[in-house]
Amino acid sequence: MSENSERFLIVAVDRDGDMEAKTGIRSPLYGKETMLAAATKLAIADPEEADANAMFAAVREFDRLKASSVECEVAVVCGRMEGGFEADRKIRRELEFLLGREDYAGIVLVSDGAEDELIIPVVQSLKPITSIVRIVIKHSRTVEESYLILGRYLRMLVFDSRYSRWAIGVPGIMFILAGILILLNRTAEAALAILLILGSAAFVRGFNIDRFIAGVLTHRPSGYVRLFSIVATILIFLVALSSGSSYMVSVAPNQVAAVSTSPTAFLVYGPLLVGYFLQGSIALIWTSFGVYLVGGILANLSRGSLRLWRSAVALVILGLLYLPVNQFSDFLISGGRGSSVLLVTYVLLGLAVLFGVATVVYGRVRSRAATTRE
């Protein structure tokens, strides 16, 4: 086929099916006169309808190409109001019907917005797109694209479970609980419940706690060992805080009362209170961290991961820090009269032991990693 004998099909696309819905005319439409009649009827039914302008633009492009001695024909295809797969499938069927009427060398696509251009891959799968005519309605194209993007994000917030649980689920729980409490004349409790739910959701999402737990559980059975150690660590740590506070109040009630009455008194009694708090809680605090690290060792051991050595070294560090921290609490309680020499000795001994352990452990890790690569 020579270039002068090539024939093109000019297609206006109405992906959301407005023409059929507002005029009752069934697509596809073929021919200039049919297109003009349908576009006029659509413009009368809805003067603000952009698809009518696209149909008129397709007719104008038809006249322009005819004047340039280009063989062509004009048509319009429609999708469905719900869009998506069904709309694109309907457009494909109508294009196949139109392309079966004659032998066309290509398609001139007339589009009035970003949504209509989503069917470009559908059109290209049937015939090459020789040209695209974009109709920009004054002050409306940007608005249409903005609404299209906004609509996508709103659908994502509603139907995508990754986002709907936070965008809809959390407010839903909050409104239900608040409504129940208000019905029970518990307005103050309702406000408190809303704050607690919002705060908990922000805390969980802000620190990626939900993803962390989900990631932990993907490594079975090591994930459950890890999760158990985390929960046990939190519980023991909370008990440690309570134990330290109780011990501090029982040993130094006057100082605690003075600080409660005048917070500036903490500058005077603060070191003493911190020292008593550490004495009353250090064993449980170290136990909680130890449970967490042992859980990491067991989890990595069950997976055969070399990271177990990292947890093992951290466990050694935890043990080496116990004596310096305990001595530091005695130093605070005595008001600086404790043995600072003993504290420095514990620190230096800890550094020496840690250096030896780290050297041996990481030497073995490097050799084992090299053996694995070979």
Are both 27 and 139 inside the same structural domain? Answer: yes
> Taking a C-beta distance cutoff of 8 angstroms, is the pair 245, 277 a contact?
yes
306-316 pLDDT, tens per residue?
677 788 888 88
Is pLDDT above 60 for 96?
yes
User: Per the domain annotation, does 313 fall within a domain?
Assistant: yes
Q: What angle do CA 38, 40, 46 make, to 5 degrees?
A: 100
To the nearest 10°, the Cα dihedral for 14, 20, 23, 29?
A: 70
Are both 329 and 346 inside the same structural domain? Answer: yes
Q: Which residues contact 148 (CB under 8 A, 6 or more apart)?
A: 113, 114, 115
Number of compact structural domains in the chain:
3
Written as one letter, the residue type at 83 is G
Q: How far apart are CA 16 and CA 10, in angstroms?
A: 19
User: Per the domain annotation, does 54 fall within a domain?
Assistant: yes
Is pLDDT above 50 for 1?
no
Q: Which domain holds residue 88?
A: 7-144
Residue 285: which pLDDT band, with cuts at 50, 70 and 90? very high
- Within a 10 A sphere around the Cβ of 319, how many other Cβ atoms? 15
239-272 pLDDT, tens per residue?
999 999 999 999 888 888 888 888 888 888 888 8
Specify which residues 9 forms β-bridges with. 73, 107
Written as one letter, the residue type at 35 is M
Are both 244 and 338 inside the same structural domain? Answer: yes
User: Per the domain annotation, does 90 fall within a domain?
Assistant: yes
Are both 337 and 223 inside the same structural domain? Answer: yes
Q: 371 versus 35: which is more confidently predicted?
A: 35
Q: How far apart are CA 76 and CA 110, in angstroms?
A: 9
User: Per the domain annotation, does 153 fall within a domain?
Assistant: no
Are both 190 and 293 inside the same structural domain? Answer: no
C-alpha distance from residue 370 to each of 332, 365, 367 (Å):
48, 9, 5
59-86 pLDDT, tens per residue?
999 999 989 888 999 999 998 887 778 8
Place of tokens 């696509």: 109
Please report the DSSP string for 208-233 in residue order: THHHHHHHHHTSTTHHHHHHHHHHHH
174-217 pLDDT, tens per residue?
888 888 888 888 888 888 888 888 888 888 777 777 777 666 66
User: Per the domain annotation, does 353 fall within a domain?
Assistant: yes
User: Per the domain annotation, does 258 fall within a domain?
Assistant: yes
Helices (H), the chain: 18-23, 32-45, 50-67, 84-99, 120-124, 141-159, 161-164, 170-183, 187-206, 209-217, 222-251, 253-261, 266-303, 308-333, 340-373
Q: What is the reported pLDDT for 2?
A: 45
Residue 110: which pLDDT band, with cuts at 50, 70 and 90? confident
